[in-house]
Amino acid sequence: MSGSSDKARATSNPGAGRYFEDFKLGEVLHHPVPRTLTAGDVALYTALYGTRFAVQSSDPFARAIGLKAAPVDDLLVFHIVFGKTVGDVSLNAVANLGYAECRFLRPVYVGETLTARSEVIGIKETSSGKTGIVYVRSEGLDQDGAPVLTFARWVMVNKRDSSAPAPEPVVPTLAERVAPEAFADAWPTIDCAAYDTALAGSPLRWEDYEPGMRIDHMDGMTIAEAEHQMATRLYQNTARVHFDAHRQRAGRFGRRLVYGGHVISLARALTFNGLANAFHVAAINGGRHVAPCFAGDTIYAWSEVLERQPLIGRDDVGALRLRTVAAKDRPCADFPLRQAREADDKDAGGVVLELDYWVLLPR
Amino acid sequence: MSGSSDKARATSNPGAGRYFEDFKLGEVLHHPVPRTLTAGDVALYTALYGTRFAVQSSDPFARAIGLKAAPVDDLLVFHIVFGKTVGDVSLNAVANLGYAECRFLRPVYVGETLTARSEVIGIKETSSGKTGIVYVRSEGLDQDGAPVLTFARWVMVNKRDSSAPAPEPVVPTLAERVAPEAFADAWPTIDCAAYDTALAGSPLRWEDYEPGMRIDHMDGMTIAEAEHQMATRLYQNTARVHFDAHRQRAGRFGRRLVYGGHVISLARALTFNGLANAFHVAAINGGRHVAPCFAGDTIYAWSEVLERQPLIGRDDVGALRLRTVAAKDRPCADFPLRQAREADDKDAGGVVLELDYWVLLPR
Amino acid sequence: MSGSSDKARATSNPGAGRYFEDFKLGEVLHHPVPRTLTAGDVALYTALYGTRFAVQSSDPFARAIGLKAAPVDDLLVFHIVFGKTVGDVSLNAVANLGYAECRFLRPVYVGETLTARSEVIGIKETSSGKTGIVYVRSEGLDQDGAPVLTFARWVMVNKRDSSAPAPEPVVPTLAERVAPEAFADAWPTIDCAAYDTALAGSPLRWEDYEPGMRIDHMDGMTIAEAEHQMATRLYQNTARVHFDAHRQRAGRFGRRLVYGGHVISLARALTFNGLANAFHVAAINGGRHVAPCFAGDTIYAWSEVLERQPLIGRDDVGALRLRTVAAKDRPCADFPLRQAREADDKDAGGVVLELDYWVLLPR
């Protein structure tokens, strides 16, 4: 833990992050720093995204359906946990390639404290020999060390030394879809008769949606530099591309890059228009940041219902599998999709995000 | 509640808002979404406006005068309630025409939960036939359904179909001035001997002001795009003109419009210089947003004391009726007023806001 | 307290601040406004600076080492207290010349209420006859009136009337260095065996540092206009140069100036890379804002260990004296220092801040 080489690295090159050669299959990384969630974090989350889901917005609403208080927004939990992994996993990443098998394991409340750990579940050098792909499974843990969130992600990481030998490649098998059985009992039973749909903003319950339905979420949100910086710092995410305009001027985009999770939260908040009762993100099957976002971009979103599934053993809530697509500087009334990759369309038709995930709604 | 036409609209056109034809006289709109106020909201309010009134800033100060804790800033309560009404009342508004008869009915504290409802109290088609004026009386309600705030406002709303027949016009009579009797017992009795004026920042109590006094509040505050967006999202106010730079580029002003309430809060915070003991906004007689504000504008303000009134049955506090005028990019040492409308002066001499309201001060 | 001249000034020129002639040696100024610290303030502090020190970030971590909860960041306490002094001390300051003898006297927690007072400990007119230097010792006090923070600072203040006679000059003797004995027992004993360095982000304890060590903190943070404005308003600091772009256009720099304390907090947050266990700022020996900062500047920092001192009577923590240097638009891998003043180098080689201070680390 505190060997002299660790200490030497901590002194000579603090916060330098890990390179591809530093990742060993099966290794478990315990990420600093623990973080107690507060009402301040929740207020900032509201101010940054304008989220309006009633269960997270109101203690009495949450208590009426059987929760002990308004839970913290699922994606705020995700961002805090994700932020902790950055310093050890992706500080030297060239690209965040994907997410999979993300499950929210229980409601999280103000006053709880989160830590994070990641296991290296795959490594594979790329053909260039200059980078490698690292697969990790990360967990968010509560104050008692019990997991509240799990997800896999894979990133392309620079090698420190391109002449270093390639490790034996191991690529994990990751599900394209989280099965509803895997999250059916993660969320406590709610009193769905006490769920006041009018107060929550929409008459639509789970059974009112059908696979194939497409919903334009209508509104657009323009990102300011201060907003995405404050968000990412709130999450104690240290990825330098988000904060350092001076160095980024010489970088790939010539400017600060918006944290992909910021765009996910904007898109999720926009889905309130049409999905106001989708009160809980239960799982994320996969997500792709199709194009980068920058301050000044205006984010729009639309969603398609991919599946409607009951949950075994419960009749209070059901699950919808959604694909939410976010686009920039382009309203989504015509439901744009990412262009086929073969076409090598650099701007992806304005699409910046495709997120495939499960939400719960009252029945 | 969940009729099929409601559901069809919720699916096909979520968050689309109501048009003039949708408003029926006497109809009561129950607005989503309930909102629990937290210490995070209060901190953000301070960060956005720099407000310094001692009663709201310090729990011990508030307890010393007899309150149970520092109450939430009156205007934060107003913005949260107002924000809830936007989706049902003014999402398709061409203009917010005015406020009247606004009263704050009791102190509101962190931990309380607000909802809102509005009654349609007047409707009148305009001569163009393309729009109509809708008058509503909105109430903010606490977790027990008891009102904490009431106000009337009227907005010009687009018709969905300009050939739709005009309704019978009904224009409510709204008072030009809230009578002090109407709010005399809304605020609990305070221990004015325990009110430490030095600690609060000014030696001036109620009796030190005279009608006709004019006060330049001196300071200026420049609005940043991120600030007004964060404010308006914190209030869960969904008016699109504030967030969507892309669509606004093709709009009337070519850019995002600052929420009028943001300017009111800036002006109120600026009044601390000269009115540091005006610890409570008791009522708003009327307010006009004379000109729009945009990011980059610097707001200055001055106030005139219009009336000084004792409150029947109490000698702890008295009321001042103020007119606070805010101007942009123009210090207010010469007390500018809005130009006469006849002059058709488009920039109104820099004036952006005239607010006529009652405040309480210790005697 | 409430004499008629005070009242006249409060009415005619509210918030105008004091000029050099207004300061009398030995005078004690009781500053408004009391401020209760909340979880919202802490969350905003995190969002503004991305601070990650485990003791302040996590209640369980703080409790494990023997504190009752996560204390409020030392610099947030400093900024709140400093902010209160501005209206009476430095509103008409031409320059903030320095700090000295700053000591943090105990941990401060959410829920506590701070006030501030300053004693005038020196006054000296400058040779121009147009300004004078005022020395004050300011204290932050808790809800019981007990001090939690003390510091001296000196500012150059405009005279109201340049023909006013010069007072007898008195220049206090201020220590160049706070002696460790002066803060040795300010912070409660911690259980350093329970201090989990891995969880806190670095294996380096007090004994791993040596005088002469230099640490590049690597990351850069670009300041947005909304961020420094929100920070400074959160601190209820009313210095006009930070908020009023309109007046500043005609000022010395042509734009808003970033509050120097904002840069100190950015630098302190950056020191996490390399000093993750420096969990407490015990004292500030001195600080110089070498050059002004503006929105758009990117702040980098490096530190040198100047001294390593044990604390008499305790073996749980030790003290490091650091000099942290912040530079703008200039990474610090080569450890830049301020250019010699003689050279009259206007940009000071990019250096904007030199801060000489003591931190505590677990042994």
CATH topology of domain B18-37+72-164: Thiol Ester Dehydrase; Chain A (3.10.129)
Any B CB within 8 A of A189 CB: no
Closest CB to A220: pick one of B32, B234, B244.
B244
Closest CA to B207 of B65, B280, B56, B316: B316
Please give the mean pLDDT across all residues of chain C.
Answer: 94
Q: What dihedral do alpha carbons A303, A309, A315, A316 form, nearest 10°?
A: -20
| Chain A from 315 to 354: CB within 8 A of any C CB | none
CATH topology of domain A16-37+72-166: Thiol Ester Dehydrase; Chain A (3.10.129)
Determine the pLDDT at residue C341. 46
pLDDT tens-digit profile of C303-338? 999 999 999 999 999 999 999 999 999 999 999 997
Mean pLDDT of B141-167: 95
Can you give the pTM of this predicted structure?
A: 0.96
Domain ranges for chain C: 17-37+72-170, 189-363
Please give the mean pLDDT across all residues of chain A.
Answer: 94
Q: Place B93 in a pLDDT band, splitting at 50, 70 and 90.
A: confident
A227/B224 touch (CB, cutoff 8 Å), yes or no? no
- Residue by residue, DSSP assigns A87-118 as HHHTTTEEEEEEEEEEEE-S---TT-EEEEEE
CB pairs under 8 A between A and B: 156
Question: Are domains B18-37+72-164 and B185-363 of this chain identical in fold?
Answer: yes
Only one residue has tokens 């940009």, namely: C347
pLDDT tens-digit profile of A294-315? 999 999 999 999 999 999 999 9
Mean pLDDT of C11-25: 85
Superfamily covering domain A187-363: Hotdog Thioesterase (3.10.129.10)
pLDDT tens-digit profile of A24-59? 999 999 999 999 999 999 999 999 999 999 999 999
Superfamily covering domain C17-37+72-170: Hotdog Thioesterase (3.10.129.10)
C32/B39 touch (CB, cutoff 8 Å), yes or no? no
C38/B41 touch (CB, cutoff 8 Å), yes or no? no
Task: Give the CB-side neighbour count of residue C188, counting CA atoms within 13 A.
Answer: 12
List CB contacts (< 8 A) between A217 and chain B: 14-15
Any A CB within 8 A of C256 CB: no
In this complex, which chains have at least 3 CB pairs below 8 Å with chain C? A, B
Determine the pLDDT at residue A17. 85
Q: How far is B230 from chain A (nearest CA, A)?
A: 5
Any C CB within 8 A of B167 CB: no
B226/C231 touch (CB, cutoff 8 Å), yes or no? no
Mean pLDDT of B282-310: 97
Q: Place B340 in a pLDDT band, splitting at 50, 70 and 90.
A: very low
Determine the pLDDT at residue C347. 54
B58/C113 touch (CB, cutoff 8 Å), yes or no? yes
Any C CB within 8 A of B208 CB: yes
pLDDT tens-digit profile of B183-229? 999 999 999 999 999 999 999 999 999 999 999 999 999 999 999 99
Mean pLDDT of B347-354: 85
Determine the pLDDT at residue C349. 80
Determine the pLDDT at residue B4. 59
Mutate to test the interface with C, among B36, B53, B222 (most CBs of C within 10 A): B222
pLDDT tens-digit profile of C171-209? 999 999 999 999 999 999 999 999 999 999 999 999 999
Mean pLDDT of B53-74: 98
Any B CB within 8 A of C32 CB: yes
Residue B276 confidence (pLDDT) above 90: yes
- State the complex-level ipTM: 0.95
Q: Place C61 in a pLDDT band, splitting at 50, 70 and 90.
A: very high
Return d(Cα B361, Cα B207) in angstroms, integer: 9
Any C CB within 8 A of B48 CB: yes
Q: What is the CATH number of domain B185-363?
A: 3.10.129.10
The burial of A351, by beta-carbon neighbours within 10 Å (0-12 exposed, 13-18 middle, 19 or more buried), is given as buried
Residue A348 confidence (pLDDT) above 80: no
Mean pLDDT of C273-279: 97
Closest CB to B40: pick one of A39, A53, A199.
A39
Q: Place C94 in a pLDDT band, splitting at 50, 70 and 90.
A: confident
Residue B71 confidence (pLDDT) above 70: yes
pLDDT tens-digit profile of A117-159? 999 999 999 999 999 999 999 999 999 999 999 999 999 999 9
Any B CB within 8 A of C30 CB: yes
Determine the pLDDT at residue A1. 35
A40/B43 touch (CB, cutoff 8 Å), yes or no? yes
Determine the pLDDT at residue C15. 73
Mean pLDDT of B60-78: 98
Return d(Cα A213, Cα B12) in angstroms, integer: 10
Q: C115 by DSSP, 3-state: which?
A: strand
Q: How far is B14 from chain A (nearest CA, A)?
A: 5
Mutate to test the interface with B, among C230, C238, C241 (most CBs of B within 10 A): C230
Return d(Cα B61, Cα C151) in angstroms, integer: 25
Class for domain C189-363, per CATH? Answer: alpha beta
Any B CB within 8 A of C246 CB: yes
Any C CB within 8 A of A245 CB: yes
| Whether C157 contacts C93, CB under 8 Å | yes
Closest CB to C273: pick one of A14, A224, A229.
A14
Angle formed by the axes of helices B74-89 and B39-49, nearest 10° = 100
Closest CA to A166 of A120, A132, A119: A132
Closest CB to A203: pick one of B7, B15, B231.
B7
Peptide bond before B178: cis, by omega within 30 degrees of 0? no
pLDDT tens-digit profile of A218-228? 999 999 999 99
Any C CB within 8 A of A47 CB: no
